[in-house]
Amino acid sequence: MQEPIIIYTPTLSARLDYICKFIFRDVLQVPFVFTSSLAKLSNTTIPFLNYSTQVLPNGLQIIPHPIIFETNIQAQQIEIATWKNNPTFFTTNGTWIPFDIFSACFYLISRYEEYLPHSLDEYSRFSHAASLAFKNNFLHLPLVDIWCLEMYTALQQANTALQKSPKQFNYIPTFDIDMISAYQHKGILHNLAALGKEFFSGKWKTAKQRLLVLRGKQKDIFAAFEEMIVAHKNNASVKYFFLVAAKKSAYDKNISPTHPAMQSIIQKIAKQFIIGIHPSYQTNETPQLLASEIHTLSTTLNSEIAISRQHYIKFKLPDTFVHLAAHGILQDYSMGYGSINGFRASTCTAFKWFNLQQNKMVDLLILPFCWMDANCVYEQKMLPEEAWQNWQAYYAICKKYNGTFIDIWHNFIIGTDTFHKEWGDVWRKTILNNS
């Protein structure tokens, strides 16, 4: 059994304890211990991590940045440098690693910048364009994982007794079900009004398609569930997130959660896969709706709801995660952007959430995604072949760094809508890629 890595620090803060648990326990999966006793280190011949300003024999020095010992939230001066051909910040000129890797990881993982004043996008979300990663061209990198593995490689060179990290790559396909149908189950009045608009605006093909579906001559263009279920048969990793808003809004358009068709699909999928809540757009302005939506889905499934992903990837820190944790959510899959593919928290490893306002870790596991079909189609305006190459690139880099690759798909993009004709084929390629 491997001896734990020793980390010397004169002071152990909540932030340092948190980030070291993430780096060594979650990313590297190797044992470690803290010590503040110089006496215990005086006779050791084994290299240890010296997290202090003092130069120590056999100590591999990383000089701390003040942020790791602070308890408040304030603007930080950040200047980009380079280490091992990768961008870094919080340069402190340690003799072993020239920047404070612990503080830099903490800044990115905690989403520190999202607690500071920032610009919002059209949906009142933290804009990816305001992020440090986007501004400095590393949004496409799981930079935290890269730093950690580079550090461990350097540590192994100093201490050849250290074993290889046992962490392995994992792939979790996920589906957001915003609307189960385009035409079906929406009521006579709704469809008559929609037909009228389509005829008067000259959308003849759409009107014809709607009539064919309503007459039972053609399946609904969003009805891809049978293929989705079969494609991932026996894959326990797959997750589905259902929007079950009781009241429709401009961004919440699913049919009623009490509709027999809705309940039937949810229950059918739940026989094979884990179901999570897709909190409506409205829950951001009216948080009390979250409890009722979780209750609705829980009642439909006759089981507790433990996982979530925000509709439109709309969340605000710390409020959204506080509400999720308070309502029994144990895992959230919202950490990514609804505007661009990439690593919002600069990692492809799941992490416990750290509430910066309270300066403590919370028992809510954050599982970051880095690729979404809707980003490719609507936001980044990719062609299907470009999106397939983009998916392969993110899959490959997560695999290279032994992370977890989480992608997001929508049934309406996989379905038979002519606008998305070739996008279903991109999804089918991903199935073959993992068969």
pLDDT exceeds cutoff 90 at 191: no
pLDDT (mean) for 1-13: 93
What integer pLDDT is reported at residue 197 of this predicted model?
Answer: 75
- d(CA 289, CA 246) in angstroms, rounded, equals 9
How does pLDDT run across 309-335, given as a tens digit for each residue?
999 999 999 999 999 999 999 999 999
Query: In 244-379, at which residue ranges do the beta strands (DSSP E only) sit?
Result: 274-277, 307-308, 331-332, 351-355, 360-366, 371-372
How does pLDDT run across 149-164, given as a tens digit for each residue?
999 999 999 998 899 8
| pTM of this structure | 0.94
Which phi and psi angles does 311 have, rounded to 5°?
-65, 135
The pLDDT confidence band at residue 15, using thresholds 50, 70 and 90, is very high
What integer pLDDT is reported at residue 402 of this predicted model?
Answer: 97
Q: What residue segments make up the domains of the chain, in order of their start?
A: 5-158, 170-182+220-433
- d(CA 210, CA 194) in angstroms, rounded, equals 9
Burial of 235 (0-12, 13-18, 19+ CB in 10 A): middle
What integer pLDDT is reported at residue 231 of this predicted model?
Answer: 93
- Residues 6 or more apart from 42 whose CB is under 8 A from it? none
How does pLDDT run across 68-115, given as a tens digit for each residue?
999 999 999 999 999 999 999 999 999 999 999 999 999 999 999 999
pLDDT exceeds cutoff 70 at 212: no
- d(CA 409, CA 373) in angstroms, rounded, equals 6
The pLDDT confidence band at residue 196, using thresholds 50, 70 and 90, is low
Say yes or no: domain 170-182+220-433 is CATH 3.20.20.370: yes
End-to-end CA distance of the chain: 35
How does pLDDT run across 28-42, given as a tens digit for each residue?
999 999 999 999 898
pLDDT exceeds cutoff 90 at 397: yes
Q: Residue 40 to residues 7, 29, 76, 193: CA-CA distances in angstroms?
A: 12, 25, 35, 78
What integer pLDDT is reported at residue 201 of this predicted model?
Answer: 78
382 is written with which tokens? 């990719």
What integer pLDDT is reported at residue 187 of this predicted model?
Answer: 63
How does pLDDT run across 215-238, given as a tens digit for each residue?
677 777 778 899 999 999 989 999
The pLDDT confidence band at residue 202, using thresholds 50, 70 and 90, is confident
How does pLDDT run across 341-371, given as a tens digit for each residue?
999 999 999 999 999 999 999 999 999 999 9
- d(CA 430, CA 146) in angstroms, rounded, equals 25
292 CB neighbour count, 10 Å cutoff: 15
pLDDT exceeds cutoff 80 at 194: no
What integer pLDDT is reported at residue 248 of this predicted model?
Answer: 87
What integer pLDDT is reported at residue 56 of this predicted model?
Answer: 94
Considering only residues 275 and 212, tell me which one the structure prediction assigns the higher pLDDT.
275
